[in-house]
Amino acid sequence: MDVAGHNVAARLVKTPFRLRIETMSRFITLALVAAGTLVSMASHANAWFGIDAKPRPVPNHGVEEIDTAYYYRLTNSFLGETRALDTYSNGDNKPFMGKTGNYSGQKWKFTPLGNGTYRLTNSFLGDGRSLDTYSGTENKPFMGPTGNYSGQIWKLTPVGNGYFRMTNSFLGKGRSLDTYSGTENTPFMGTTGNYSGQLWKLTKLSPTH
């Protein structure tokens, strides 16, 4: 005890040695805080400076590339997945939108012809018949004998969300494969526009061989 009645040990807090320790402790604390700030800055640098350190995954909205080793089912946005492009077995084997099922006429094969175009045949009729279009008023599609015809050269243009627009070389971009809303939902080549019947979806099925 000193004369003032205080413990001598308590006065050590104010000694130069203790002050130096406290100063060093504060310095270390500040250094750690600064280091943490730098780490935080580094982790957010990408957002601040527009740098993407990790590549972002590309959203997958469906088929964008056609695997020619497989058959596909063709449906459109207008009729939904309960109706699929099929073919009759009559004289011109005309296409129709049949009830979706495990039918060979609904299994379509895409044969590349170059420049992003394809020939369309199905398992039911084989390679001897290809999807083609007449040159009449409505330019109706039919399954013609396979040959070097511009109506059998089809282009599929992605339009988003896994859908394609289907046009051919004979009629050009001004006409697209579409479907009526009648009993048979008959396909036709309609004036190209923002119509749900012209938005076609390809569903991958079994291998072609």
> 26 Cβ partners below 8 Å, 6+ apart?
none
Question: What would the pLDDT profile of 58-103 be if each residue is shown by its tens digit?
Answer: 333 445 689 999 999 999 999 999 999 999 887 768 899 999 999 9
Residue 5 has pLDDT above 50, yes or no: no
Provide Rg for the chain, Cα atoms: 35
Instruction: Based on DSSP, count helices (H) and strands (E) in the chain, helices before strands.
Output: 1, 12
> In terms of pLDDT, which residue wins out, 45 or 132?
132
Residue 26: predicted pLDDT: 55
Beta strands 200-207; 141-145: pairing state: unpaired
CA distance 1 to 23: 28
CA distances from residue 7 to 11, 20, 21, 92 in whole angstroms, order as listed: 7, 21, 21, 113
